[in-house]
Amino acid sequence: MDLARLVELGKIDKNTPHPPALIGQDGVLELTQLAIKKEIKAQIILNEGLMPGMHAIGEKLSRGEVFITDMLIAARAMNVALGQLKPFFLSGEIQAKGTIVLGTVKGDLHDIGKNLVKMIMEGDGWEVKDLGTDVSEEQFVEAVNNSTDAIVGISALLTTTMLHMGSAVQRLRENNPNTKIYIGGAPVSQSFCEEIGADGYFSNPHGLARELRKAPKLLI
Amino acid sequence: MTKYFGSLAIKHPDDLIFGYAPKPVSCGQGLTIGVGQVFPEINFTLPPMLINESNWNEVLSHYHNICENVLARAEKLRVPGIVMEFEHLPPMSMKPELGAEITSLIKNYLLEFYRRTGIPNALRVTVVDLRDADHPPLLRSGQRWEQTREAFILSAVAGADILSIESVGGKEVHDQALMYSDLSGIVASLGILACRDMGWLWDEIVDICKEYDVVPGGDTACGFSNTAMQMAGQGLLPATLSALVRAASAPRSLVAYEHGAIGPSKDCAYEGPIIKAITGVPISMEGKSSCCAHFSPLGNIAGAMADLWSNESVQNIKLLSGTAPEAFLELLAYDCRLFNIAENKNESRMYRDLLVRSDLEQSPEALMLEPQTVLRIARSIAQCPNPYTQTRNAIFTAFKSLQDAVDSNQLKLPSREQTWWSKIPGLLAQIPENENEAIEYLITTYHGVFNPQAYGL
């Protein structure tokens, strides 16, 4: 079975019980190690071996054929492979997709939606800086100042906290007008996104990753 | 002092019905819940606005407006009784004096309403579990717990008649387990972590309630099984998984009653019927009339065993007929009229069965609220005192009930649900058999996600 298919199925390594049909068989870990041993270029392992698996499961999720669980299990396997490729990221042989700063706005303690976005983005090869919940405008700005090319994802679940998104967007824009800012959460909408001047709104946790896969250059 | 419910308070499905609870609760201004009538429980929140010092008067004016409008319509509709639930927003628990000010404001309206109309009423105050803000949560110590505790005390002093919470112990593990459909993690986080935290937390809450003569209402597995239900509703998780989580969450919510809560349970605790069957306490439920707050596949069946009927939450915005809270009070009032006339005309079982049947074949989650299934799950829980075993039993019993419904064609699963459902026996087989193995599993698999000391581990 090829690497992409193993990623899609979420088969981490030989010892993991998932999926039951592949118990005892090599997983993403072993095949990535083998590819590195065979001196296949790391960028090729990533682009032609691993990413097609994430794309395949992402498309199935978009078509409603699988559940987000399936995508997260794939992302978990992908992360194991990315761990093996870490030296190549550090040496510059592989270019990381980028960094995303994530957080739930000030006064809001809800985090499951943000955490879903985090797991999916990590699985898609992004470095995620998770600021947690109850994040102030200043914390968002500080995080972006530490990663100047980062994009930002802001979440809110309450009608009494969503307005903090507007002030966060404003502060981020004042700090760096080019920072791309995306929002999500139950009370927000596309029109609210436009109203506060954010760059995009996604109604589901995989929407951002999907959009960025289609048009990564939009970010630059 | 822990009370173990070793048998069911309601043993026959005919007795598991709206309006009646073997252990009624008297509270507030002349209100007794569970003696034959269903009462509306209206809940409300602010429209999109920030809460800060500069607009605090505007915040207060919303609550004045809500009370005036809701109670005026309640009087016009001649409701037989009413519960108002004031659910804190985070700043109101972070600064408990803010929550207390609004509690006092609402209570004064209710006292005046009772004096003027004689309509029985009560005020439920639900505090935010701020402990969720720390990752992993400390739970039993630290500033977040102190704030949460203070919010309970000040709410009690300010006039709350019933105190509740949506507590979060175990959620940090459950969230991850749920997203990966890790049934072993789901059962261990609910049956060990959440149950341990509930026992500790509800001892604290019940002590406060005793000191200030307030009714300890109950808790809800909202952060667990409603998270699953909402994600299933968006097509992100299997509805069958959501149904299994609902059953598995019941032992966790039961712990509040083992530690002294007496009901009414929280409205969003859809595990309420199982709790009612085991303990006999009255329950609050929400269904079709909570569509203002969220989607639910349980719109009718949720009312089949309710003693309070709630709208979950609605923003104070203007509609054509008035404000949204008063409009939703009207919906609840008419729903309750139907419950109560059915009881009055000796048609309550027929009406309950219509509520059940209208939803039953539409979703796996609805099956978890069918009276026979409720009793099956309740029995599997009550037959042993260990919370972990109770949780394990509940999920296996729920699986068997769902499998029977699938096999008999009573429940038809869409194709991707079928694919997932076929994996369930394998996942169930991996669930550790006893608590020690489950603790080992938690510590190994979720290392760093939770703080064992916060659970006394």
Contacts of A195 in chain B (CB under 8 A): none
pLDDT band at A94 (very low <50, low <70, confident <90, very high): confident
Identify the pLDDT of residue B202. 98
Tell me which CATH code domain A99-219 carries: 3.40.50.280
CB-CB under 8 Å, A159 with B49: yes
Per residue in B263-309, pLDDT tens? 999 999 999 999 999 999 999 999 999 999 999 999 999 999 999 99
> Which residue is it, tokens 């994040």?
A135
Identify the pLDDT of residue A220. 36
CB-CB under 8 Å, A162 with B51: no
B59 CB contacts (<8 Å, ≥6 apart)? B46, B49, B51, B102
Closest residue in A to B173 (Cα–Cα) = A112
Contacts of B235 in chain A (CB under 8 A): 64, 67
Mean of per-residue pLDDT scores for chain B = 97
Residues of chain A with CATH 3.40.50.280: 99-219
> What is the mean pLDDT of the segment spanning B327-334?
98
Q: In what order do the strands lie in the sheet with B308-310?
A: B215-218, B162-165, B121-127, B82-87, B39-43, B308-310, B284-286
Residues B48, A160: Cα–Cα separation, whole Å: 5
Residues of chain A with CATH 1.10.1240.10: 3-91
Closest residue in A to B50 (Cα–Cα) = A160
CATH of A3-91, one of 1.10.1240.10, 1.10.3720.10, 3.30.420.40, 1.10.340.30: 1.10.1240.10
> What is the mean pLDDT of the segment spanning B369-377?
98
Identify the pLDDT of residue B201. 98
- Find which of A16, A160, A210 to mutate to test the B interface (most B CBs within 10 Å of its CB): A160
> What is the mean pLDDT of the segment spanning B222-247?
95
Per residue in B182-202, pLDDT tens? 999 999 999 999 999 999 999
A215 CB contacts (<8 Å, ≥6 apart)? none
> Which residue is it, tokens 């500790």?
B200
Nearest to B416 among A65, A163, A187 (CB): A65
Shortest CA gap A155–chain B (Å): 15
ipTM: 0.85
Contacts of B128 in chain A (CB under 8 A): 109
C-alpha neighbours within 13 Å on the C-beta side of residue B260: 17
Q: Which amino acid is it at B335?
A: D
Structure tokens at A18: 């998932």
Per residue in B382-437, pLDDT tens? 999 999 999 999 999 999 999 999 999 999 999 999 999 998 998 999 999 999 99
Per residue in B18-32, pLDDT tens? 999 999 999 999 999
- Find which of A16, A65, A67 to mutate to test the B interface (most B CBs within 10 Å of its CB): A67
Size of interface A-B (CB pairs under 8 A): 81
> What is the mean pLDDT of the segment spanning B321-350?
98
CB-CB under 8 Å, B133 with A163: no
Q: Cα B271 to chain center, whole Å? A: 7
* Residue A219 confidence (pLDDT) above 50: no
Per residue in B109-150, pLDDT tens? 999 999 999 999 999 999 999 998 888 999 999 999 999 999
Nearest to B135 among A132, A159, A163 (CB): A132
Shortest CA gap B113–chain A (Å): 29
> Which residue is it, tokens 């509940």?
B394
Better-scored residue on pLDDT, A211 or B92? B92
How many beta carbons lie within 10 A of that of residue A175, not counting itself? 16
Q: Where are the alpha helices (DSSP H) in B271-386?
A: 272-279, 324-344, 348-360, 364-367, 371-382
Residues B365, B370: Cα–Cα separation, whole Å: 10
